[in-house]
Structure 1
Amino acid sequence: MKVIFLQNIASLGQKGDIKDVSDGYATNFLLPQNKAVLATEHNIAQLKAQQKKQATKIKEKLDTHQKIAATLNKQTINFFGKVSDKDTLFKGIGVKDIIEAVHKNFNLETQEKWFRDSAVIKKLGRHEVFLILPDNKRISFYINIKAEEN
């Protein structure tokens, strides 16, 4: 009997695989426990449509990540803040501030988990920030912190 696996089954197949299994195994185990469905034309068409949709989603995410990499790589974002006598900011620049600035300056959506160094930066000057995208592409850009002029 031909079935489409709805879950990964050890030593048989992965989710989405179409395989021939014995009739008894399918009717007594796989089908009642919703681990597989019969491989009818309708179910196969649904599976192919779902796989195509998933492939499109993955391609869109990769395109977005490439756009982020191309836009942000080696760019500089300026921050201004009130400074103490020791040339440090009263309020440090954190990951959320950087995400907000990236969105404001480049209209790009980034996620907090992509930033590997989540330390708050309080010193004036130019600092390198590293971003690691889900496809393991590493991007570096800079933030330049300056004293706010009165």
Structure 2
Amino acid sequence: MKLILTSEVTGLGAPGDIVEVKSGYGRNYLLPRGFAILWTRGGEKQISSIKKARDAREIRDLGTAQEVAGQLKSLKVVLKTKAGDSGRLFGSITTGDVADAVKAAGGPLLDRRRIEIAPAIKSLGSHRVSVKLHPEVSAALDIEVVAA
């Protein structure tokens, strides 16, 4: 099955890429979630607009990515959230929460889809989050989760 990706799918491709996948994967996972659209000649015209939107969001070159990684390394990010008496959170910290906290701390604007929270953050304290800025550059971001 030939599809055009509309959002990034790990291990498959980036928005605007034309990919060939098994029909079950495309029909049952990619299409219903809006990660892809069927490939057609008319759909190929949409690729340019998808790639323009992707280019606007991406960090363009390696030097800029390394500069942003340096900014993130020196940044102190504090997230305030509701927690119980034992230090356990009501819910968990999401990538959107981290992106908003970085922006509020005076850091660069980050795309929440580039932030990776390995084990879910469900407790107060110090945690490390990975941010994939460029295919060759990842930055580690230390965040402090405190009770509100």
Tell me the TM-score normalized by structure 1: 0.51
> 2:106 & 2:64 partners in 1: Cα distance?
13
- The structural deviation recorded for 1:131 is 1.0
> 1:74 & 1:128 partners in 2: Cα distance?
13
Structure 1 residues 81 and 116, CA, compared in 2 at 3 Å: closer, same or farther?
closer
- The structural deviation recorded for 1:97 is 0.6
SS of 2:60's equivalent in the other structure is: helix
SS of 1:61's equivalent in the other structure is: coil
- The structural deviation recorded for 1:107 is 4.3
> 2:143 & 2:106 partners in 1: Cα distance?
14
Work out whether residues 74 and 142 of structure 1, in 8 Å CA contact, stay in contact via their aligned partners in 2: no
Residue in 1 that maps onto 2:60 = 61
- The structural deviation recorded for 1:142 is 0.8
Residue in 1 that maps onto 2:117 = 117
1:27-75 CA-partner distances (Å, limit 9, x unpaired):
xxxxxxxxxxxxxxxxxxxxxxxxxxxxxx9xx7225423311100253
Structure 1 residues 128 and 118, CA, compared in 2 at 3 Å: closer, same or farther?
closer
> 1:108 & 1:89 partners in 2: Cα distance?
26
Name structure 1 gaps, 5 residues minimum: 1-56
Residue in 1 that maps onto 2:140 = 140
Residue in 2 that maps onto 1:75 = 75
Work out whether residues 75 and 107 of structure 2, in 8 Å CA contact, stay in contact via their aligned partners in 1: no
Moved over 4 A (4+): none
> 2:107 & 2:132 partners in 1: Cα distance?
18
| 1:139 partner amino acid | A
Bigger Cα Rg: 1
Work out whether residues 71 and 106 of structure 1, in 8 Å CA contact, stay in contact via their aligned partners in 2: no
Structure 1 residues 91 and 147, CA, compared in 2 at 3 Å: closer, same or farther?
same
Residue in 1 that maps onto 2:87 = 87
1:91-139 CA-partner distances (Å, limit 9, x unpaired):
4221001111112222412112322336542201000111122232121
> 1:121 & 1:133 partners in 2: Cα distance?
21
Percent of residue pairs identical: 23
| 1:143 partner amino acid | I
Residue in 2 that maps onto 1:24 = none
Residue in 2 that maps onto 1:9 = none
Work out whether residues 76 and 142 of structure 1, in 8 Å CA contact, stay in contact via their aligned partners in 2: yes
